[in-house]
Amino acid sequence: NLNVNTFRNGDSIPEARTNAEWEILCKSGKPAWCYYNNNPANGLKYRKLYNWYAVNDPRELAPEGWVLPADADWIILVSYLGGPVAAGIKMKTTTGWNEGSNGTNQSGFSGLPGGYRIENGTFQNLGNIGTWWTVTESKALNAIDFYLALRNRLEKSSSSKQRGESVRCLRK
């Protein structure tokens, strides 16, 4: 998962350390990042969570030589890995998932259940769900994301841009 606190041009991305900071930044459409539970120790394993405003910022979140995936990129990956069920199992890590819902990591994706942060700043589902943004907007206030959960499937959804989710990059 991505672990940067600056945009490609060197500008800092604000870290939201409290629920209030998260809400203020997100409601104003400003980029933000955090560690799960605002705990840097979680960052060692799961890396950072970003709101969609950081993902879609023109200063570019992805490092030089990389791009952020669109909805279509994830769909290609799912197809290549054999569909949602096969992809889910092949993308999950072999340890770390609750209820013994580990995968095989045959894809090398190493999908961890890093949880997410909702609009009011509350953290949810560490150990149960891993979510990753796309750059694809679905509605004015929502964007497409993909997630792995305990069901061993890679699922697509449309989530509030104010959520904090993990990010993966593609090599150009």
Quote the CA–CA distance of 81 and 59 in Å, as a whole number. 32
Quote the CA–CA distance of 43 and 101 in Å, as a whole number. 22
Quote the CA–CA distance of 100 and 32 in Å, as a whole number. 32
Write out the chain's pLDDT in tens, 172 residues: 999 999 999 999 999 999 999 999 999 999 999 999 999 999 999 999 999 999 999 999 999 999 999 999 999 999 999 999 999 999 999 999 999 999 999 999 999 999 999 999 999 999 999 999 999 999 899 999 999 999 999 999 999 999 999 999 999 9
